[in-house]
């Protein structure tokens, strides 16, 4: 069973500003999040079971930070960062 993904209006605004080369890798990352959100790294190394996690995408040029709400089978994407080199 997959997880439901949610994004705030702020995250949607960030996505709207991403370059085209970031969109496919981001879409691939969201598939991973919907199927296996615990595969991302904990946001801090102090708590490996923490629900706040991050997942790199686009050959490491981007990172998605998200919160896993296991009881609701939901993933809240809280931030997306893309390095435009």
pLDDT of residue 14: 97
Domain extent listing, the chain: 4-82
Homologous superfamily of domain range 4-82 = RelE-like (3.30.2310.20)
Q: Report CA 7 to chain centroid distance, whole Å.
A: 10
> Any idea which residue has 């708590």 for tokens?
47
pLDDT of residue 45: 80
State pLDDT tens for residues 68-78.
Answer: 999 999 999 99
Are the C-beta atoms of residues 68 and 51 closer than 8 Å to each other? Answer: yes
pTM of the predicted model as reported, rounded to 2 decimal places: 0.94
Compute the average pLDDT of residues 47-60. Answer: 96
Tokens (6 digits) for 12:
């949607």
What is the DSSP code string of 15-65?
A: HHHS-HHHHHHHHHHHHHHHH-GGGSEESSTT-TT-SEEEEEETTTTEEEE
């Amino acid at each position: 069973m997959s997880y439901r993904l949610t994004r705030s209006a702020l995250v949607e605004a960030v996505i709207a500003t991403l370059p085209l080369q970031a969109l496919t890798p981001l879409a691939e990352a969201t598939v991973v999040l919907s199927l296996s959100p615990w595969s991302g790294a904990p946001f801090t190394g102090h708590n490996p079971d923490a629900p706040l996690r991050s997942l790199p995408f686009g050959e490491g040029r981007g990172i998605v930070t998200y919160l896993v709400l296991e009881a609701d089978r939901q993933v809240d994407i809280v931030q997306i960062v893309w390095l435009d080199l």
